[in-house]
Amino acid sequence: MPVNLPLPVAADLSPVAGLELGYAEAGIRKPGRKDLLVMKLAPTATVTGVFTTNRFCAAPVQVCKAHLEGIHISDSPIRALVINTGNANAGTGEAGLADANATCVALAELLECEPSQILPFSTGVILEPLPVDRIKAGLPQAIANLKSDGWYDAATAIMTTDTQPKAASRKITINGVSITLTGISKGAGMIKPNMATMLGFVAIDAKVSQHALDHMVKQAADNSFNCITIDGDTSTNDSFMLIATGVSSLEVNDIESPEYATLSEAVTSLSRELAQMIVRDGEGATKFIAVNIQEGSSVEECRQIAYSIAHSPLVKTAFFASDPNLGRILAAIGYAGVADLDVSKLDMYLDDVWVAKHGGRNPDYKEADGQRVMKQSEITIRVKLGRGDAAATIWTCDLSHEYVTINADYRS
């Protein structure tokens, strides 16, 4: 079960004017499940995204990048996104690219637009051909199901090993104009993004210039999806998309404006919630862990150390067992690669428990206190480096027997 993650309520997910969502059961990998999603956008929409840095990036990622680059040299806005689950279309070579493009062609014909105005996304098993004929056959059903309040079904339609859909909404007011933000994400394993999660989509109804939106998505990703890890594996298909439908009267063009700052903070906040949902639903997770590094010389250094702790199988299994073998954390800090780290200045805490002082065991630390914290479902590891004013937080989970079980028979 996810760690303290309630199911989203469909009625609480606000429609975003200028966007419709429709799903289909295309039988891409398994029958009788939602596995194909179409998101249709108003002609006024602007779209941007960030993608995996994995060199084996999937065919749909390559096509998305090409189509988004085309926005800057043409007057043809993105009109729809199409997402399938059950097959990643990664490690599929030229045939995979042809299949991703064929999906765009098929949807473009149905929506009467150009294939370059479609963005394709896939998630699922790697190294298997995309069943593009099933996708083509399912597209009419997805289009027939298009509706503005389809966010819950949309979140369900992009799941793989997720145990539940992940979705959330916000409403804010800027200059007297009400703005709606709604987003969905998916992911439970193969999560160590270099930009985003496996798949994430956030939509807002404001009118935002392409330049401002490009800036906004990077800010949001760097402070949300780029701060999570489950198992340290960067997916081939990671994609985080930000859509501004442009139907609101609010216009945001200047990244230095107060309107931009307010809207960007709301997008980041929503993205952070969606990112943390992924960690809470990590494959086999029983603990949600925040790794907070303080007093570093740079944010990059703090993240480097935080990820070293969060990726350590020894640390993660200790938390699963509630075993206060906390020297494992110090070891992970030591091999993080910060060559000039003076460990004699380092202090470490588990929630309110001061474990390590000046690089060694705190004389007042009692193992029973450490175990008390480790039995909780939510835990914060806090490390003070004594090197500066920078700080960073990474969110992760423990590593249980169930993670091995899930991934041992993922294809069955």
| CA atoms of 99 and 60, how far apart (whole Å) | 9
* DSSP bridge pairs for 81: 39, 119
| CA atoms of 222 and 53, how far apart (whole Å) | 14
Q: Which residue of the set 48, 52, 123, 197 is catalytic?
A: 197
Can 197 be counted among the known catalytic residues?
Answer: yes
| CA atoms of 19 and 378, how far apart (whole Å) | 36
Contacts of residue 36, Cβ cutoff 8 Å, sequence gap at least 6: 23, 24, 25, 26, 28, 82, 83, 84, 85, 135, 138, 139, 141, 142, 157
Strands 46-51 and 19-24: unpaired
The sign one gets for the Cα dihedral 206, 210, 211, 214 is positive
Residues catalogued as catalytic: 197
